[in-house]
A and B are shown apart, each in its own frame.
Chain A
Amino acid sequence: SPVFVVLVCLAFCSRLSSMKAASICTNGQTGCHFISLANLFDRVIQHSARMHGISNDLHSEFELYFLPSKNQIGRVSHNCHTSTILTPNGKENAQRIAREELTEVILKLLVAWRDPLWHFHQDMAQHHEFNNFSSNKSLEMSDMVHELRKGVQKVVEKMQMLGIISPSIGNLGTPEALLASDSAEWRLMNDYDLLYCFRRDSNKIQHYLKILKCRIVPEHGC
């Protein structure tokens, strides 16, 4: 057993050493924590999956107050404010378009949902007919959209740094982009439609990120 302990130590120490060696960051930043691109992708993908899960839960809860539809469509046709954003509707389409386009779509979607979700949470907190569980989920959803957008932007920066994609995108976080997204379309949606639309869009984001990762760094778990 001391031999076993020594072996474990060696394995662990080698891991540590590798991590230490990899902690040399680019751009001369001191004290930065090195994360590989694949690792970054995994993180944002997990984040988007969780976001979609929460939106799914909230939508299901909302359906209890309305008539539960068979395929979760609902009787009212939905007009999502993100319908104007052209998104690939299938696997082949998502694989065919350029990486930059795909990345841009993701960012657009994330930006578009920041304000509506925030207001939705405010409405939920005021209306006490929804329990605290839903209220907490709406807050979490709103935060996650914000976090995910920042995460995806970091991924984009890294990709641009690595030269994977061209630096033409990335200006969506600028105030101009924010102003453009501040349209009043989303205010026309009711809560149920909003949840339905966000549920759909979060699913899109999740799939797109996965496709993007396997297109850029396919060797890690694709």
Chain B
Amino acid sequence: TLEPHFTDCISRDLETFRCWWSPGSLHNLSTLGALKVFYLKKDSPSSEWKECPEYIHENRECFFDSNHTSVWITYCVQLRGQNITYFNEDDCFTVENIVRPDPPVSLNWTVLKISPSGLSYDVLVNWEPPPSADVGVGWMRIEYEIQYRERNATNWKALEKQPHTKQTIYGLQIGKEYEVHIRSRMQAFVKFGEFSDSIFIEVTEIPNKHGLVPFTLVVIFGIVGVLIVILLIVISWQQRLMMILLPPVPVPKIKGIDSEMLKKGKLGELNFLLNGGVLDGLQPYAKELYHEESWVEFIEMDKENEEGGDKVDNCNSDTQKLLGLPHRNIDGLRAISHPDDDSGQANCYDTDLPEHDTQMLIASMLPGQPENHQASLDAPASETGERPLIQTQIEGPQTWVNTDLYAQVSNVMPSGGVVLSPGQQPKIQENTTGSEREAQKGGKKSEDCEDNEGIEDWKKSEPQFQLLVVVPEGSGSTTKNNAQQTSTPPNSPVPGPGYQTIQPQPMETKPAAMTDGSQPTYILPESPQSQLFTPVADYTVVQELDMHHSLLLNPPPSHSPSMCQPQHPLKAPMPVGYITPDLLGNLVP
């Protein structure tokens, strides 16, 4: 059961207040006028209950005007029936505690700013304080709370309470409609008034601005891109410009000779260098010269006249030897050997050179090369580290004078001169061809200089580089490449020192035993022993191809009489083909 009670008492302006009551469900006291409102104003100890100063029966409301309203004074209200008084102590209050201000009026909004992206904007909302609240006199201090939401959303978003009559809402989205309302309350109090009527905020897209922003962005990025492209072009063209303006001129680098020195006309020193003079005084100078050019092809300065060239091979003579005739194949060789690039290689066969120019010899072999060869030769199966260097006989009646066409650079002088090993000077010319000749030679030369002692000594020396080219008998399918392959005969019965005398007959089975499956061309050694004792060059000259497509190489020079001596100059630990200058004299026949 519910007895009559007060539903609420509210003041809007801190000057008046109203109270509403409800009759409850008790009995038929809903008739108007049956209930009466009495109030007590505790402003003095002797205060009394008084009846409501103003009734509004339609609303069941009791209105207290400003004359009957005192702030900061406790009021108590009660309902009285005919014989019953309904009073609740909770119905005591002070006016300032029941204040709920009216909502603000005249809500308005303006767009503050639209974001550059054109997607969001800020809005400034302004309003007027409620007219009922006397803010002007300062009687009421009101603070406001704005709430907003999207049109179809359910939850309101509230901003911070603040006492001013305007506030900015940030981050609204273009194209969406927003609903905004405001409520107010007294500062430092709890109870809010009712919400104002809602206003609706909406900002639609502005196509002009929307078009401007990306346009400017496109222009900016376009300019930046063009600048980058120009930069790249300048950078790339810069290199081209460098190439055009400063092309790399091939400068002939002469070992041991400085172009500055030539300019100065110091011919004395020039001659000195050309002679390969080994003087300690010149060593540092020369070293500095080619310190950084160790792998540059050395060009040996040659003299026009063949004089004193013990250590320097004469270009002309070599050329002639190679070709057989002094000047017969010069032209041909010129065509062959004339290099297209002008990177420092001088044409040895250029007979049009003026007299004051010197002819140059290309020495391509460098001391380090034989080791490479040995490494490549290790691939085929070899039981010994030593392989007999086998050279083919020379076909064709050719007489050779002292030096060979090729000369191996055996050493580089500190002074800048190149020591060439004149090693292979084939004196024995035989006209036999084919393996029969080789067999004969093999048998013949095997008698020569079989000095085990020498062999052992030779074996004790450093691992030798040996070129073995073997030609199988009757094998038709041989290629040039096979001739270049070198391998020791896989025959196991190797004599102690590792030196082998290759017989032609077992050779037939060898191709089958070859692991690599190819049928290399075997060339029987002529006289491996004797050749071993000779300062065999690490390379030899390919004479020509015989009918079996085997390379016929120049036979090594035979220094058999001198080489058989126990005092073998090669007993000194030195690899074959490397000749020191002091030993050079011994080798030159």
Contact = CB atoms under 8 A, between A and B. Distances in A.
A90 B137 contact: no
A70 B88 CA distance: 11
Given A52-B188, A90-B15, A92-B66, A222 B137 contact: yes
A91 B69 CA distance: 10
Given A56-B188, A210-B141, A222 B90 contact: no
A73 B66 contact: no
Contact of B94 (A200, A207, A210): A200
B139 A211 contact: yes
Given A52-B188, A90-B66, A75 B72 contact: no
B97 A91 contact: no
B71 A89 contact: yes
Given A56-B188, A75-B89, A49 B94 contact: no
A213 B92 contact: no
B299 interface: no
B92 A204 contact: no
A203 B89 CA distance: 23
Nearest to B98: A71
B93 A71 contact: yes
A26 interface: no
Main secondary structure of the interface of B (DSSP, over half): loop
Nearest to B15: A91
Contacts, number: 77
B141 A49 contact: yes
Q: Interface residues of A toward B: which range?
A: 20 to 34
Contact of A207 (B66, B93, B139): B139
Interface string A190-219: 000000000010011011001101100000
A179 to B, nearest CB: 27
Contacts of A222: 136-138
A69 B74 CA distance: 14
Interface in B526-545: none
A213 B138 contact: yes
B108 interface: no
B11 to A, nearest CB: 11
Contacts of A213: 138
A195 to B, nearest CB: 14
Interface string A88-115: 0111101100000000000000000000
B138 A214 contact: yes
A90 B69 contact: yes
A69 B137 contact: no
A204 B93 CA distance: 16
B93 A73 contact: yes
Main secondary structure of the interface of A (DSSP, over half): helix
A73 B66 CA distance: 21
B425 interface: no
Contact of B188 (A53, A73, A210): A53
Nearest to A57: B188
Interface in B1-57: 9, 14-15, 42-43
A78 B93 CA distance: 12
B417 to A, nearest CB: 78
B314 interface: no
B92 A89 contact: no
Contact of A95 (B90, B91, B92, B137): B137
Contacts of A87: 72
A126 interface: no
A213 B66 CA distance: 22
Interface of A: 49, 52-53, 56, 69-73, 75, 77-78, 87, 89-92, 94-95, 200, 203-204, 206-207, 210-211, 213-214, 222
Given A69-B90, A222-B137, 18 more contacts: A49-B141, A52-B188, A70-B90, A73-B93, A73-B94, A89-B43, A89-B70, A90-B69, A90-B70, A91-B66, A91-B137, A203-B72, A203-B188, A210-B138, A211-B138, A214-B136, A214-B137, A222-B138
Interface of B: 9, 14-15, 42-43, 66, 69-74, 89-94, 96-98, 134, 136-139, 141, 187-189
28 contacts: A52-B188, A70-B90, A70-B91, A71-B9, A71-B90, A71-B97, A71-B98, A73-B74, A73-B90, A73-B92, A77-B42, A77-B74, A89-B43, A90-B66, A90-B69, A90-B71, A91-B66, A91-B139, A92-B66, A200-B94, A200-B96, A206-B141, A210-B139, A211-B137, A211-B139, A213-B138, A214-B138, A222-B136
Q: Which 10 A-B pairs have the closest CB atoms?
A: A210-B138, A71-B93, A89-B70, A214-B138, A53-B188, A70-B90, A91-B139, A73-B92, A52-B188, A56-B188
